[in-house]
Structure 1
Amino acid sequence: MLTPTARLLVLSQLLFNIGFFLVLPHLAGHLADDLGLAGWLVGLVLGVRTFSQQGLFALGGVLTDRFGAKPLIIIGCLVRSAGFAVLAVASALPTVLCGVVLVGFAAALFSPAAEASLAREVDPDARADTFAIRSMAGEVGTVLGPLLGVVLSASFSLTCVIGAVLFCLIAVLHLRFLPRRPGEHHDEGLFDGWREVFGNRAFLLFAAGYSAYLVSYNQLYLALPAELHRVAAPDQALGLLFALASALVVFGQLPTTALARRLLGRERALVAGFTVMALAFGVVALRPPGLVGATAFVVLLIFGQMLAAPFAMELVPLLAGDRRLGAHFGVLSSAGGVAVLVGSTASGALLGHGRVAWLLLGLLPLAGACVMAFTGKRRAFSS
């Protein structure tokens, strides 16, 4: 049973994703069609947004440890509102870049704070289940956000205004109901947290292995469309497969986590999850006919994610010794962001090499499984 604060933080993830995916799916089209930006500039804007989010998570984490989660979540929501407001009126590239930096930096503020706060709010044995519920709520928001955008049928500027208002309401919600707890390291140096995190070799090893999952998951946006193009799939196939992925998480995450905990335990569930993700790439390398390979890839990749991700989140506080959770969650996300940037560049170059590309991509989660198995022998994995 979740506490009221834990329920608020789960609800927050739902609302965060609704607001984000209400606006962001339309950004590229707005930049190209309405503002007339060249394709490389559109890519630059999207890349700046990703970097300003993932790259700055580590900063948001140490700020959480210093000042507490509540102010970081509230300020992050207000910063995202400001970012959407800037995008609503932006008509030139510098203003657009300012808007996307604010949108990305906002998540770097509130995401590590929300994750650290949720981890502290629940019993250690219930963390995997709680993060599974949070993942499910986030996936619902990922689906509802674009659907709401379609229902509204509004201009991009009006959609941005609606998103800005929503994040202001989320800030008010947290101002009213989220308990104020001082940062656990408020009397220490701001960047002492980074020194502690980067001195934690077990955590750094885990973060490297976890990054393999993030790079693999990102192939839904890169390798999957390439496979659909190869088999000459209809245009609507990609949307249907994304809908399938969302449905699997919404309806399958909680049963999968409960069953994995009972039958496998934390360590073996992590190893199994990464192994299943590796298998997803191997199936496509076999070149099954039609949409069989793409469908199997989505199902296996999402199933592997559902097995591994909640237990990975449960492990962060254990590896951190329940200290500086903001800094640890922040560095974990930033490491993943760097890995995705490098991994996406490499996988984009590989995808023209057919089966070899899929086999090489499958080695990454397989290496992640080995890291998890090795790290599992450490005392930090004990319950």
Structure 2
Amino acid sequence: MGPGTGAEVPVPEEAPRTGLEVPVPGDPVPEDPGTAPRPSAPGTPPRAPDPQAYIRLLTGTQFAFNIGFYAVLPYLAGHLGEGLGMAGWLVGLVLGLRTFSQQGLFVVGGALTDRYGPRPVVLAGCVLRIAGFCWLAQAGSTATVVGAVLLIGFAAALFSPAVESETARAAVAHERATGAPRAQVLAVFSAAGQAGAFLGPLLGTLLLFLGGGFRAACLAGAVVFVGVLAGHARLMPRRPRAPRVPHTRAVFSREVFANRPFLLLCLAYSTYLVSYNQLYLALPAEVERATGSQGALGALFALSSLLVVTAQLPLTRWSARRIAPRTALVAGLGTVAAGFAAVPLAPDGPAGLLPGATLVVLLTLGQMLLVPAARGLVPDLVDDHRLGLATGALSSVSGLAVLLGSAASGTLLGAPGPVLWTVLAAVPLAGAGVALTLPRAGARAPGH
């Protein structure tokens, strides 16, 4: 899922280390976020890694991760409701638990990444994701389904903060070295993820069409993550542990959780994630209402991903030059709100899919504006040595909001259309109001 532009944020003369600088004598050994260097002679500082190669590795990681993830997730709600006979509120709760175990626990993965480096955290996340998909393929009761989706979510809570914080760190280094806005690197990362999200539902749809069912989609997702695990065991560089710090400070750092601008960013971003989660809850219900089945769901997810793949980079390039990160965040949330508001107003088009397609297009356009802006602001609001924790916290606050909102929105699925879509539109609109209170150019955390 991908990220602010950074070009409009003043950079201090002595910027925090990104982990990509050339080491100088007397400095501590830097964390190595580049391609795995050749062993150096004892006492010789390691050579500076290639930032471009590391960015390519992280981008390819996001691409493969989303192929496996989206081969399964779009069909989970239908499997729970039709295959296992769960009530609507219970389906919403299970989806919320999955998101909370993922987004809500990002803070754990981020803290572990700060402490141990990205490699062991990424590998552990791959192993747990494989186990979770295999378990979900066999789960037949509410308890086993909940256990499987919690494991799948926690796997991503380890994997994603490591990859996203490293990408943000590399994007800042690239900006300082070349002057190109960091949002461009984050947009490439996001576009690669969406390319994977484009192929994943098509893979899931193909398996369903061939009669393999939901179990086959789960096993295919597990196979993809076996490949991700093997690739990262070979290519992900090792790096020294960070200096030991007290446990309570590592996890509950005041540099992050007492930082008012950062907390406002978390709150605004959480309204986006609550809205985005409706692609897995309200959108399937709308498609089934309009067409009598969820057969067109894969095509709508493919439409969303195709929009990001083709339009993310030009849109980010334009927004990085023309508007401030805060403005991009507000505009993106407003566009998402317009998508929900348009559903009851749009006439049914071919096969009844026009309202759903309108929602997907506007939500995706809003996402392309706001996600690189939000993620690009994080390095300006917290210290570099807490970047993993802050990246995780951004998603954890959002995950808690999704947990609270999913059961409620699942209950609302039976309400009249205008009521449902008005309530859903109000959520990102409130987030846009919160985003308006953010500093225009990003405030610095204390001691930053």
1:119-268 paired onto structure 2 within 5 Å:
119-123=168-172, 125=175, 126-151=181-206, 153=210, 154=212, 160-184=218-242, 186-192=243-249, 193-196=251-254, 197-227=256-286, 232-233=290-291, 235=293, 236=295, 238-268=297-327
- Cα pair distance change 1:367/1:119, threshold 3 Å: same
For this pair of structures, how many residues does the alignment match? 377
Gaps of 5+ in 1: none
Q: Tell me whether 1:77 sits opposite 2:99 in the alignment.
A: no
- Aligned 8 A contact 1:2 1:122 in 2: no
Aligned counterpart for 1:271 among listed residues 322, 325, 330: 330
- Does residue 1:103 correspond to 2:163, yes or no? no
Residue segments in structure 2 that go unaligned for 5+ positions in a row = 1-49, 176-180
Q: 1:117 aligns with which of 150, 166, 170?
A: 166
Per-residue deviation, 1:252: 1.0
Distance 1:266 1:26, change over 3 A: closer
Instruction: For 2:156 and 2:205, locate their aligned partners in 1 and report how far apart those are by CA, in whole Å.
Output: 24
- Which amino acid in 2 is paired with 1:339? A
Q: Confirm or deny: 8 A CA contact 2:72 2:221 kept in the other structure.
A: yes
Structure-to-structure mapping, 1:276-355, within 5 angstroms: 276-284=335-343, 287-291=345-349, 292-350=354-412, 352-355=415-418
Moved more, 245-254 or 346-355: 346-355
Secondary structure in 2 aligned to 1:187? coil
- Say if 1:244 and 1:2 are closer, same or farther in 2 by CA, change over 3 A: farther
1:113 touches 1:326 (CA, 8 Å); kept in 2? yes
Is 2:328–2:373's contact at 8 Å kept on the other side of the alignment?
yes
Paired amino acid for 1:214: L
DSSP 3-state at the match of 2:253: helix
Give the distance between the partners of 2:66 and 2:161, measured in 1 at CA.
Answer: 15
Q: CA RMSD in A?
A: 3.1
- For residues 95-137 of structure 1, the C-alpha deviation after alignment (integer angstroms, 9 at most, x for no partner) is 5554433322111111111111111122364432222222221
Does residue 1:363 correspond to 2:426, yes or no?
yes
What per-residue deviation string (whole Å, max 9, x for no partner) do you get for residues 323-376 of structure 1? 311111111111111112222333344552443443343232222222222103
The structural deviation recorded for 1:63 is 1.1
2:224 maps to a residue whose letter is L
Deviation at 1:311, TM superposition (A): 1.0
Please report how far the alpha carbon of residue 234 of structure 1 lies from its aligned counterpart in structure 2 after TM superposition.
Answer: 5.9
> Is the CA contact (8 Å cut-off) linking 2:104 and 2:398 kept in structure 1?
no
Q: Which has the higher helix share?
A: 1
Task: Tell me the CA shift for residue 225 of structure 1.
Answer: 4.5
SS at match of 1:39: coil
2: CA distance, partners of 1:25 / 1:296: 18
Can you list the C-alpha shifts for 1:259-303, whole angstroms capped at 9, x where unaligned? 111222322222221222222233335x24224544333222211
Of 133-142 and 167-176, more deviation after overlay is shown by 167-176
Distance 1:229 1:265, change over 3 A: same
Structure 2: how far apart are the matches of 1:357 and 1:376? 33
Q: Is the 8 A contact 2:195 2:305 kept in 1?
A: yes
Identity of aligned residues (%): 50
Partner residue, 2:178:
none
The structure having more radius of gyration, on CA atoms, is 2
Q: How far apart are residue 140 of structure 1 and its match?
A: 1.7
Match of 1:248, SS state, is helix
* Offset, 1:151: 4.7
Question: Shift in Å at residue 223 of structure 1?
Answer: 3.6
CA distance in 2, matches of 1:335, 1:220: 19
* Alpha-carbon distance in 2 for matches of 1:42, 1:282: 24
Out of 69, 73, 92, the residue aligned to residue 20 of structure 1 is 69
TM-score w.r.t. the length of structure 2 is 0.74
Q: Structure 1's 90 and 350: CA in aligned 2 closer, same or farther, altered over 3 A?
A: closer
